[in-house]
Structure 1
Amino acid sequence: MISFSEPKFVNRSRELSRLREFCSTSRALPLYIFGPEGCGKTRLLREFTRNFTNYFSGDSIALYIDALERESIERALITSSPVKITANIIHSLISKFVDIEVGKCLANNISTLLEKAIGKKRLRDKYVLVVVDDITRSIGLDKIEWYVKWLYELRWKLEEEYKPKSINFIATTSEELSLDIISKHRHAHPLLIWNLNRESFKELFRELKPPNHIEFQEIWRLLGGNPGKLVELARQFKWNIEEMTKLYEKKIRRIIDKILREKLNNELQIALEDIDGLEKVKTKKMEKLINILIDSNLIIYKYWPTLHGIDIAENSELNIGKYYSWQVPMYREITQKLLQEHES
């Protein structure tokens, strides 16, 4: 097996600053962070957790839980320095939960993890943060409303019991349909995180050492600043854009087949011509198309407050509208090609 080191963490200074501000005092609501698949939210929160002590000195404890991790304790739990939680302690916490993945188990037992692995006394007068990553895919869309409400109530309970300087929770998702559920109630504060800007994307591009024939402008046009897709192109596909495109054509073809079975050809053509046509055309058929495209992670509704505090600008080159955007520009090109093949 080939083991790859993580690429360099490139500029997210505004997001880190906002996270630090959020954790400086106890907030009434947990953050619910979402964004395009591969936009870098996981890497951002891992880095923030690892360096939490740098922001709040020794008076701080941060835990990052990968709710999707099935087996590895080391991958399921990251702690801020100098917090050390031994594997034996974690095993003792999760051993009574049979046939439950380790990440999911930790995500469902936060108070036990804090109390048994760290201790009430060590939490007193500390800045405390718990991050639960990819929770929706771990527990399912049908349970996310319950989980976010549970986090909301748990924060108040632990604040009263542990007496920290501050205690906060952050949950993340790539499942945008969960936002419809979350936004019905006031148990969490949804915030959008976006792909890298052009300069940061170029920095990561250079860090990954592309062959001389690979032009940055073409990669920017295809991937639109998505760091996950860039790393995938470099490491999985060895910079072979054609092979990467073929794989995504196969994935997207199944989605197009579903759209065609639902007789949503005209609605899809509107979206291809103008992504904000999804907002302008108010019909049940368009609503059905929106749900299919969002559920498939091809598009994202972007008219939300952002983590870095700046609205995501419209960009016709990258197919970013005022309300909607293709998660990756390449998805639009592939979708258009497949629709044209069907109609020719």
Structure 2
Amino acid sequence: MKRIKLSLTPGLEVEFVDRELALKKMEEWAERSTRLPKVVFGPEGCGKTAWLRQSAVLLRELGFHVIYVDPLHRYFEAYTDVKEVARRLAEAAAGVLGDAEAWLATLAIDLTKLLIERMKRRVAVLADDVFQAIGLGEAAKYVKALLGLIEYPPRSVDAIVAVVATSEGVTRREIGRHRWADLLPMWNLPKEGFKKLYDQIPGDKPPFEEVWRVTGGNPHLLSELYEAKWDVEEVLRRLMRRKELTPDFVARWRHWLEKAVEDPDALWSPDAPRELIDELIARNLVVYNIYERDPRFWIGEEPPERDPELGIGKDIAWQTPLHREAVRKALEGA
């Protein structure tokens, strides 16, 4: 399979690395279809977009007609000989038809139906971060529409693959309330795969072990560090601002935050305030109620059972070590 090139930062392209287990999972879905839409969630910047784009190439090589959309970036890929598909996606991405982001997300489903109507018997729709584009309130409806496409295609097909990726922790709860999708987690890159990505970055850089301890294998944090000329403090400060770790937030939850930076599983206690947990999930600081470490339930390699150095507990984990350090820094400054 051809490995795609991806932009790590402006002016720096890298080759897709690792994720062999995740690609194998996509190949298995291609063989038997996705009975339910697959909703893949995980830490911000862990590589879901890269995996979906590489999967689009994989599915094309397996003989699928593929539609991939990334509405937030107005980006799409259409691997099909039905020229109308690419034309209509391009119109939506250009904003010709109004609300480009939401329309691009919706159009992915409509055009997959069109492919089936045009007698294409192996089709795939891959939707990246569509819930942010359409609004979290519409997430369940979107997944149900994908389910309708699988259960009631306009014509008989040989295989349908429908996958949605999201970083929104709160989406997991909303989707999980229904039986319309399979929810599957993806974690940051494993150490060996992350080393392959690190090795592609040119110039002077900190030792790999140091970068690993800061990022925990998160490709987006690696790109931020590179752009910041490896200034961890600068990246940390930006993260603190994005997550709105304000003095009032820290003061209100100081007791539990202090416990959580030492051991995230402290928040698994029945005494832990649900309001704080919901806030940490909504701000994409932690992953709560982590699935058991069984490859059947994960997209790609699962995280370790526990890793205190990386901020990973059995049931709860900081999205990256730097997310934990952002909270620790906020505690020290409040």
- Is residue 244 of structure 2 the alignment partner of residue 247 of structure 1? no
Q: Which amino acid aligns with 2:14?
A: P
| Deviation at residue 256 of structure 1 after TM alignment | 3.9
257, 265, 273: which is aligned to 2:247? 257
- Is residue 27 of structure 2 the alignment partner of residue 20 of structure 1? yes
CA contact (8 A) 1:302 1:312 kept: no
Provide closer, same or farther for how the CA distance between residues 24 and 312 of structure 1 changes in structure 2, counting only shifts above 3 A: farther
TM-score relative to the length of structure 1: 0.85
Deviations, residues 25-49 of structure 1 (Å, cap 9, x unaligned): 2332100001000000000010110
| Deviation at residue 66 of structure 1 after TM alignment | 0.8
- Output the CA distance in 2 between the equivalents of 1:49 and 1:93: 20
Tell me what 1:162 maps to.
155
Q: Which amino acid aligns with 1:241?
A: V
CA contact (8 A) 1:50 1:79 kept: no
Provide closer, same or farther for how the CA distance between residues 82 and 96 of structure 1 changes in structure 2, counting only shifts above 3 A: closer
Provide closer, same or farther for how the CA distance between residues 94 and 206 of structure 1 changes in structure 2, counting only shifts above 3 A: closer
| Deviation at residue 22 of structure 1 after TM alignment | 1.3
Q: Which amino acid aligns with 2:169?
A: E
Q: Secondary structure at the match of 2:308?
A: coil
Tell me what 1:200 maps to.
193
Tell me what 1:320 maps to.
312
RMSD: 2.5
- Output the CA distance in 1 between the equivalents of 2:126 and 2:195: 29
- Output the CA distance in 2 between the equivalents of 1:178 and 1:271: 23
Tell me what 1:135 maps to.
130
CA contact (8 A) 2:215 2:222 kept: yes
Question: How do 1:27-42 residues align onto structure 2 when only pairs under 5 Å count?
Answer: 27-42=34-49
Deviations, residues 278-306 of structure 1 (Å, cap 9, x unaligned): 002434xx211111111111111252231
CA contact (8 A) 2:116 2:123 kept: no
- Is residue 286 of structure 2 the alignment partner of residue 272 of structure 1? no
Q: Which amino acid aligns with 1:231?
A: S
TM-score relative to the length of structure 2: 0.87
| Deviation at residue 339 of structure 1 after TM alignment | 0.7
Identity of aligned residues (%): 31
| Deviation at residue 211 of structure 1 after TM alignment | 0.7
Q: Secondary structure at the match of 1:24?
A: helix
317, 325, 339: which is aligned to 2:331? 339
Q: Which amino acid aligns with 1:245?
A: L
Q: Secondary structure at the match of 1:10?
A: coil
Tell me what 1:106 maps to.
104
Deviations, residues 197-244 of structure 1 (Å, cap 9, x unaligned): 1111111111012415x111111111100011112221x213232322
Provide closer, same or farther for how the CA distance between residues 327 and 94 of structure 1 changes in structure 2, counting only shifts above 3 A: closer
State the aligned residue count.
321
Which has the higher mean CA deviation after the structures are superposed, 92-101 or 127-136?
92-101
| Deviation at residue 51 of structure 1 after TM alignment | 2.7
Tell me what 1:66 maps to.
70
CA contact (8 A) 2:287 2:318 kept: yes
- Output the CA distance in 1 between the equivalents of 2:90 and 2:326: 46
Provide closer, same or farther for how the CA distance between residues 17 and 84 of structure 1 changes in structure 2, counting only shifts above 3 A: farther
Provide closer, same or farther for how the CA distance between residues 333 and 210 of structure 1 changes in structure 2, counting only shifts above 3 A: farther
| Deviation at residue 132 of structure 1 after TM alignment | 0.9
- Is residue 110 of structure 2 the alignment partner of residue 120 of structure 1? no
Which has the higher mean CA deviation after the structures are superposed, 305-314 or 195-204?
305-314
- Is residue 16 of structure 2 the alignment partner of residue 44 of structure 1? no
Q: Answer with 1 or 2: which has the greater Rg.
A: 1
CA contact (8 A) 1:53 1:60 kept: yes
Provide closer, same or farther for how the CA distance between residues 340 and 154 of structure 1 changes in structure 2, counting only shifts above 3 A: same
Q: Secondary structure at the match of 1:297?
A: coil
238, 261, 268: which is aligned to 2:229? 238
Unmatched 5+ stretches in structure 1: 71-75
- Output the CA distance in 2 between the equivalents of 1:233 and 1:242: 10
Unmatched 5+ stretches in structure 2: 1-8, 292-296
- Output the CA distance in 1 between the equivalents of 2:312 and 2:93: 44
Provide closer, same or farther for how the CA distance between residues 309 and 319 of structure 1 changes in structure 2, counting only shifts above 3 A: closer
Tell me what 1:73 maps to.
none
CA contact (8 A) 1:52 1:80 kept: no
- Is residue 299 of structure 2 the alignment partner of residue 299 of structure 1? no
CA contact (8 A) 2:125 2:161 kept: yes
Provide closer, same or farther for how the CA distance between residues 230 and 307 of structure 1 changes in structure 2, counting only shifts above 3 A: same
215, 219, 225: which is aligned to 1:223? 215
Provide closer, same or farther for how the CA distance between residues 38 and 111 of structure 1 changes in structure 2, counting only shifts above 3 A: closer
| Deviation at residue 24 of structure 1 after TM alignment | 1.3
Q: Secondary structure at the match of 2:127?
A: strand
- Is residue 171 of structure 2 the alignment partner of residue 181 of structure 1? no
| Deviation at residue 138 of structure 1 after TM alignment | 0.9
